């Protein structure tokens, strides 16, 4: 049996906007349906991002959470970076020439990298 991190569960106040961002811009795939939440498969892995719908206010900066990273092949990274630019998503950080940091619609920092 494989053990390890399988998913991250993150709150969102807008499931449809979150799903469009991660599917249409970042290229993740919807894993399976579930009421009140979405499960998205990360590129090239068996990990899941789980966004849980909530009406309550939350602060993504609280609790020490910094960011999560999505790893891509170099070719896919180039494509996702182009979609990020086309969608007008602001890049607010870089690490060399192989990683960018963006903010998702919920205020979470996402690292997109290919190294």
pLDDT in tens, 49-69: 999 888 877 777 776 677 898
The answer to whether residue 105 scores a pLDDT higher than 50 is yes
Q: For residues 84 and 79, what is the distance between their CA atoms, to the nearest angstrom? A: 9
Range of the domain at 72: 7-55+66-113
In a domain, 87, yes or no: yes
Q: Look up the CATH number of the domain holding residue 37.
A: 3.10.180.10
Q: Confirm if 71 and 53 have CB atoms less than 8 A apart.
A: no
d(C-alpha 84, C-alpha 89), whole Å: 5
* Proportion of the chain above pLDDT 90, given as a percent: 57
């Amino acid at each position: 049996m494989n053990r390890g991190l399988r998913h991250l569960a993150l709150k969102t106040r807008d499931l449809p906007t979150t799903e469009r961002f991660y599917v249409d811009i970042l290229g993740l795939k919807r894993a399976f349906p579930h009421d009140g939440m979405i499960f998205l498969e990360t590129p090239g892995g068996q990990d899941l991002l789980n966004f849980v719908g909530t009406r309550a206010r939350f602060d993504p900066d609280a609790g020490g959470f910094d960011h999560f990273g999505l790893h891509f092949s170099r070719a896919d990274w180039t494509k996702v970076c182009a979609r990020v630019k086309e969608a007008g998503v602001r890049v607010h950080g870089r690490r060399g020439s192989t990683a960018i940091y963006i903010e998702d619609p919920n205020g979470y920092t996402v690292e997109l990298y290919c190294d």
